Chains A and B, each alone.
Chain A
């Protein structure tokens, strides 16, 4: 009860001064010095694909990390998370969720103006009006297998070999047809004179 009333109180206070600042979510906590940072992780807009069998990204596996590991919290089923008793200063919030890439968020808690919190994504320097963290993109950890196509088979070394052979089989005779029979005979005779370098000759010559 007490907590909720305090929350309502602080919200009221914030609304009253909201014409000056962009309140994200700040509440001076009981111990005096610290502030609370509250926000929300949103995964709904992202349809996941390419996940392994039996794997699906879960909100329950999503962690929110303050200042590179000083504190770690988890998100609630509705995506909300909060850090309490954070001193004034500039902080860094990171979200770790397998399957998504989140930009770290820079959070400034002003010391002079208690409760004033500003947030911005560090990757693209976009300021956030409310601390709603959405993934920049989903991450595909596996290569996608190209669906089978004739083209890929033809492009493979074996395919190229077969293709070349087919070419030799069907196109070269056609080319031969175009050659004048007289010239052809001449060439054959010439070849006979020089002797066709047969494989057996070659091997014999080598050894």
Chain B
């Protein structure tokens, strides 16, 4: 009884103080936060004569950011919504960044220095399509300048100061696509040129101040026009035809249009294939890129053109950069083995060629943005931003890479954890020990000063610095507590990075897909990664390795490939192009004699291929085959099917190929249910205790099965987002399905609820998050599953006499008698991702990690979601730590594991155990990465960094002194006593 009381007391104690909370000076001790932007697609340089040099970029991840050109640091960054892709960016008035997004329907202006949004205008475009933004240089209506947004056949002029639409003009011509807008200097007339159905050229004169149509003309084109154009001067432009082999020179003088066809083969001698026009600004020069070279062409007089420069070997060409009235520069970048040659051409002439060595894990050059600066001797210097195949961003200047950003890490698609190497045995010199001891003492003195609030700001800074540079946490070896690990991540570009948990640095990085690129594997893309070998018993001398699986083409039937990569060094150990496709990779809980984990690769014809290929792997698998099951969720058909494996497959006679046999299927009525979410337990989750003792001394046995699948379906009308369905036509059904037998263990319907559903399954419970339309709030429900068939094992006599069935194996074959308990709560925020903490032995209580709409990660104790809660808990229940039932889950700001940081565009949360039972690693990723270690029930099994050793030493010293003093005193007293 006393022990229970103590337990209850401890629980209450830990309830009153938050399980996870850090002090402000502890930031950066266990956590790190890295900010990225993603693959850059537009860049606008801002190099004012004074002030900081910066570049504004927009990325494929819908981020816009301002970077410091000297260091590559992010000055500010915003992540736009998911379907708000940036179409174009521009600068206006020298102080605003304009972004056109959502297919030309939203125009926003951002303050350049600090990134504050200044205004936002919805352009109310009826049929969003390709549109473009043109910032007018010199229309001054007042002190304003106008920005024109052209979309199909309509133009909107937007004031740059407040974002109001000054005028709009719908040219209302069917099939008209405006291509180019320009305004001659010192004129109030805007010229807009467009194509009508790729056969007519149209020209419009528009008053820049009012939007009034002054004049228009059309002219039939002699060729079929493609959409690529290049404006070459104030009265002419060049277009490419649809066959991409002819140029059309269009002139529009004084309201009339003339066009002239020029076959490309006349200009460029050895022309073949498809050409591409590079957008230029003016100066009568345009650039044509062909598969074999880049040609710089100048227009002379009437319809005459001349080839003024040619770069052999096709490279990546930048947009044009205007240097002066006459000169414009282009950058042409070629890539050859781990070096790129960077060439700047001014008016087609070669002005600068630099060769730059580049790490070979970056792949090819994808995009280049050129910028110039004026040197002290008034000559032009050039710098370029280069986007590589792995989505990294480099700044090149004077033949050197000034800085590089690993922005590929903004698009992580999968992650696994690997161990670091074991520390090698080796003598540590005495000097080193003394030095570290001194440092250690010094550090603790500082800490003591800190705790006693005696420290000066300098000391505080020293403490912070000491924490951060602590070499212990950044070592490249395994530690006793399991705090140092490698997080191996796969990004969208197919690059694999190993990150150190200590400080998030990149240990190694490899772009693997170029290794495969060949005839037989035209466009390799990596799908997923898995742990391949985790040595612990037999194969300790072997390095751990990971498995990467991908496919060679886009379709699901294209051939797969696999890589095995050493996780210490990133070295590729094995490459294999498979003779079958890949639909899914199923890791099995088995390993062969060299500790390689068995994996089944399911192909699109539902055959299972066993890897690794080895006789002992085959033997292990065949022995266990009868107990292996596989299930497949077919989202489109609303069916879940379960399969068993059998020998011999349909597509070959390989011994490693197995066929599947359908065992069961669960068909959801497609007219009333749509599968929106599935979730299952982590295969490697450890459960410590099977029984749960209730308040009334009753024992409940948890129903712990690895085969539980949680499935959520919603009514078809509620399958859209919030706001699309009424409460009466929306419902959500949650199922618990056994994946071996296909038996539905539990089914519950939530009327008036809809998705998005996020669910997590752990031990014997499921927690899921959905939207309740009736209350118009988010809700979280917990379902706990208990095994009733073992419920009568409470009798001690039975246990003594051995009449219990505790040792009977839990099997999915027998019909389980289960009981469920559930409870629902309101939750304030939208959720982007959900996960649960995992610890080494499963003793520590669980926390649910919730990625909220604000891109923060909240750690919510599981006991807030306890079906046993009642509104008025009894005394016993209170002792046990059951809190009164509330309708809303509490959000305690201190339990945000990300504290003041945000993980931009949060997509995933991962938790993996440390060796220390109390502690778990949390890694969350989106555009940003955030890693930390948390202790859901506080660190009960080790002293924290907070522990003051110096205070302990002082106490011991004081005690010893006191003992000596009292001893002396008692001696003296004794003596006096005796003299008396």
Contact = CB atoms under 8 A, between A and B. Distances in A.
Interface of A: 1-4, 29-31, 36, 50-53, 55, 58-60, 63, 65-77, 81-82, 84-87, 89-92, 94, 96-99, 101, 103-104, 106, 122-123, 139-145, 147-148, 156, 158, 161-162, 165-166, 169
B703 interface: no
13 contacts: A1-B165, A1-B167, A29-B124, A65-B830, A77-B117, A81-B120, A87-B723, A122-B777, A143-B23, A145-B25, A148-B453, A161-B959, A162-B959
Interface residues of B, number: 71
B415 to A, nearest CB: 22
Interface of B: 18, 21-25, 27, 76, 78, 80-84, 108, 111, 114-122, 124, 126, 164-168, 451-454, 721-724, 756, 771, 773, 775-778, 828-830, 832, 853-856, 888, 891, 893-894, 896, 899-900, 902, 951-952, 954-955, 958-959, 962, 966
A1 B159 CA distance: 10
Nearest to B25: A145
Contact of B853 (A31, A96, A140, A162): A96
Given A2-B165, A99-B900, A74 B894 contact: no
B70 to A, nearest CB: 20
A98 B902 contact: yes
Given A68-B756, A69-B81, A98-B854, A148 B451 contact: yes
Contact of A76 (B118, B724, B771): B118
A158 B116 CA distance: 52
A-B CB proximity, top 8 nearest: A72-B81, A139-B893, A84-B122, A96-B854, A158-B955, A148-B453, A60-B116, A68-B830
A97 B453 CA distance: 32
A147 B891 CA distance: 26
Contact of A71 (B81, B856, B902): B81
A168 B902 CA distance: 54
Given A1-B166, A103-B828, A122-B777, A142 B951 contact: no
Nearest to B773: A90
B73 to A, nearest CB: 14
A141 B962 CA distance: 43
Given A3-B164, A147-B453, A148-B453, A169 B966 contact: yes
B959 A1 contact: no
A201 to B, nearest CB: 19
B951 A90 contact: no
A38 to B, nearest CB: 11
Nearest to B771: A68
B755 to A, nearest CB: 10
Contacts of A144: 23
A74 B76 CA distance: 14
Given A60-B114, A142-B23, A73 B723 contact: no
Given A1-B166, A70-B81, 12 more contacts: A2-B167, A69-B832, A73-B120, A77-B118, A92-B722, A94-B853, A122-B775, A122-B776, A140-B894, A158-B951, A161-B955, A162-B955
Contacts of B83: 70-71
Given A67-B721, A69-B81, A85-B122, A3 B453 contact: no
B452 A141 contact: no
Given A4-B164, A90-B723, A122-B775, A31 B894 contact: no
Nearest to B966: A169
A44 to B, nearest CB: 16
A106 to B, nearest CB: 4
A106 B122 contact: no
A92 B899 contact: no
B142 to A, nearest CB: 13
Contacts of B78: 74
Given A4-B164, A96-B853, A85 B124 contact: yes
Contacts of B451: 148
Contacts of A68: 721-722, 756, 771, 830, 853
A91 B111 CA distance: 30
Contacts, number: 177
A136 to B, nearest CB: 9
B163 to A, nearest CB: 9
B124 A65 contact: no
Nearest to A152: B451
A70 B82 CA distance: 8
B168 A98 contact: no
A161 B957 CA distance: 12
Contact of A104 (B18, B24, B82, B777): B777
Contacts of A30: 124, 126
B126 A31 contact: yes
Chain A CB within 10 Å, residue with most, of B454, B853, B951: B853
A69 B776 contact: no
B971 to A, nearest CB: 14
A69 B117 contact: no
A139 B120 CA distance: 28
B24 A89 contact: no
A51 B82 contact: no
Contacts of A87: 723-724
Contacts of A141: 893-894, 896, 899-900
A62 to B, nearest CB: 9
Given A55-B900, A68-B853, A96-B854, A162 B958 contact: yes
B116 A59 contact: yes
A139 to B, nearest CB: 4
A75 B130 CA distance: 27
Given A70-B721, A98-B902, A142-B21, A1 B164 contact: yes
A101 B453 CA distance: 31
B116 A77 contact: yes
Contacts of B954: 158
A106 B727 CA distance: 14
A138 to B, nearest CB: 8
A148 B484 CA distance: 34
A104 B828 contact: yes
Nearest to A84: B122
A176 to B, nearest CB: 11
Interface centre among A29, A65, A92 (most CB of B within 10 A): A92
A86 B122 CA distance: 12
A94 B855 CA distance: 13
A156 B959 CA distance: 15
Contacts of B900: 51-52, 55, 98-99, 141-142
Contacts of A84: 122, 124
Contact of B108 (A60, A74, A89, A142): A74
Contacts of A103: 828
B24 A142 contact: yes
Interface-centre pick from A3, A50, A156 (highest chain B CB count, 10 A): A3
B830 A69 contact: yes
Contacts of B777: 104, 122-123
A44 B897 CA distance: 27
Nearest to A36: B122
Given A68-B830, A140-B894, A158-B955, A76 B117 contact: yes
Nearest to B958: A162
B829 A94 contact: yes
Nearest to A140: B893
Contacts of B84: 71-72
A52 B37 CA distance: 23
A148 B452 contact: yes
Nearest to B62: A72
Given A59-B116, A96-B854, A142-B24, A91 B902 contact: no
A177 B181 CA distance: 106
A29 B452 CA distance: 63
A166 B777 CA distance: 59
A143 B853 contact: no
B853 A69 contact: yes
A144 B776 CA distance: 35
A75 to B, nearest CB: 7
Contacts of A73: 81, 120
Interface core residue of A29, A97, A145 (most chain B CB under 10 Å): A145
